[in-house]
């Protein structure tokens, strides 16, 4: 299944990689690899991750304080947020509008 990021989610991913790269390029590579692994897992097994609500699911990025918040649509996984665990809960909720 195709994986697509909302622009804000892609920015969050890029910012996280840049943050880790500034501190340790090896850790940045590990984070990017784990995020890509998460993309593959949610695209192959979209219903395996826990539900947040009726349409959204969450996949925790192993060994990092981030989760991929996503929605499974027909033929596509839409990543809504690459959410850091210390941010306020559901800060990304308005990205899909009221009827997500």
Residue 59 lies in a domain: yes
Query: pLDDT digits over 64-93, tens only?
Result: 999 999 999 889 999 999 999 998 888 888
Residue 94 lies in a domain: no
User: For residues 47 and 12, is the Cβ–Cβ distance under 8 A?
Assistant: no
Tell me: pLDDT of 95 over 80. Answer: yes
Confidence of residue 97 (pLDDT cuts 50, 70, 90): confident
Domain span at residue 7 reads: 2-86
For 51, the 3-state DSSP assignment is strand
Instruction: Give the whole-angstrom CA distance, residue 35 versus residue 43.
Output: 12
Residue 9 lies in a domain: yes
Total count of domains within the chain:
1
Give the per-residue pLDDT at 99. 46
The sign one gets for the Cα dihedral 73, 98, 68, 81 is positive
| Token code pair at residue 35 | 């995020």
Give the per-residue pLDDT at 3. 96
User: For residues 79 and 4, is the Cβ–Cβ distance under 8 A?
Assistant: yes
Residue 6 lies in a domain: yes
Residue 96 lies in a domain: no
Query: pLDDT digits over 23-66, tens only?
Result: 999 999 999 999 999 999 999 999 999 999 989 999 999 999 99
Residue 92 lies in a domain: no
For 65, the 3-state DSSP assignment is coil
Residue 100 lies in a domain: no
Residue 93 lies in a domain: no
Which CATH number covers residue 57?
3.30.2310.20
């Amino acid at each position: 299944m195709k994986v697509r990021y909302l622009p804000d989610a892609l920015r969050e991913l890029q910012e996280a990689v840049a943050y880790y790269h500034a501190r340790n390029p090896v850790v940045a590579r590990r984070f990017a690899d784990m995020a890509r692994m998460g993309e593959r897992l949610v695209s192959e097994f979209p219903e395996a991750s826990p539900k947040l609500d009726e349409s959204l699911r969450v996949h925790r990025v192993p060994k990092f304080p981030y989760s991929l918040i996503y929605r499974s649509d027909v033929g596509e996984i839409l990543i809504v947020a690459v959410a850091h665990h210390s941010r306020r809960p559901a800060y990304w909720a308005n990205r899909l509008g009221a009827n997500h």
